[in-house]
Amino acid sequence: MNRETSRVPAPLLLPAALGVAFLLLPLVGLLVRTPWSQLGNQLAAPGVGEALRLSLLSATLATALSLLLGVPLAWVLARSRARGVSVLRALVTVPLVLPPVVGGVALFLVLGRQGIVGSWLDDAFGITIPFTTAAVVIAETFVAMPFLVISVEGALRAADARFEDVAATLGAGRWTTFRRVTLPLVAPGVAAGAVLCWARALGEFGATITFAGNFPGTTQTMPLAVYLALQRDPEAAVVLSVVLLAVSLATLLLLRDRWLGRGAA
């Protein structure tokens, strides 16, 4: 049985269908143009494996860094009643709307050799960040961490805070309560946020190329490799894109089945 009112009104049907086509056609086009017979050769080409490995590594490191910093930050945003928290929340989400290239420029100005922090790092420790793999990780973290923060903050707000009261009456201090009660309760939100964060980091382009450059082996991640390949060897670009598409789809499926399946779907 279907609710009569849940049927789609006719005027919405056509735009909705066009929307689906608009989103799916490019992907279909990509798959149609993929030189499936040469897939093996292309993937084995020097540089491809390297870019893929670097992408996976840097996205994973960026996610780890985001977890380390973002979960505590989300807790503060969700629970702190201090003034200015709402301003802080707005600031934290700026990277979400900021063009990644601008983020890259900003990072460069702070962490570059002439930057405020960068010059000090250079003088004191002889550390240079731009154009290294570390710069890739930092650029990806900058862009991707807000996805994690927002997801975890939402989970924290939705979690029943009375469980924390119960934990307190059972002798658990705030830190114990956070580790043994709050964190497990919001684990699905943390996991979903981490996956989103990882997917965003994997696809990061603008901030990375600005701040970390495009050096094969150290800073050339998959998206950069795709862009570069498109100019020299379109067929290689298609192959690289298909690989990224496969990774993204796998992520999506993982998200849906594991964490979003219960509530949504």
| Residue ranges in contact with other proteins by CB under 8 A | 160, 162-163, 165-174, 176-177, 180-181, 184-185, 187
Nearer to other proteins, 53 or 180 (CB): 180
Q: Do 45 and 235 touch, CB atoms closer than 8 A?
A: no
SS (H, E, C) 158-188: HCCCHHHHHHHHCCCCHHHHHHHHHHHHCHH
Q: Which is nearer to other proteins, 89 or 157 (CB)?
A: 157
Minimum distance of other proteins from residue 262's CB (angstroms):
12
Tracing tokens 């990806």 back to the chain, one arrives at 140
The nearest distance, CB 174 to other proteins, in angstroms, is 8
We find the least distance from the C-beta atom of residue 190 to other proteins, in angstroms, to be: 13
Main-chain dihedrals φ then ψ at residue 219, nearest 5 degrees = -130, 0
Cα–Cα–Cα angle for 249, 255, 259, rounded to 5 degrees = 165
Least gap, CB of 163 to other proteins (angstroms):
6
- Of 220, 203, 224, 244, the closest CA to residue 34 belongs to 244
Q: Which is nearer to other proteins, 17 or 170 (CB)?
A: 170
CA distance 205 to 143: 10
Shortest separation between residue 185's beta carbon and other proteins, angstroms: 6
- Compute the half-sphere exposure of residue 24: CA atoms within 13 Å on the CB side of its CA: 6
Q: Which is nearer to other proteins, 9 or 171 (CB)?
A: 171
Cβ closest to other proteins, residue 27 vs residue 158: 158
Q: How far apart are CA 30 and CA 138, in angstroms?
A: 30
Q: Which amino acid is present at 32?
A: V
CB of 172 to other proteins, least distance (A): 4
Closer by beta carbon to other proteins, 81 or else 232: 81
Decide: helix, strand or coil at residue 224. helix
Structure tokens at 188: 């699905």
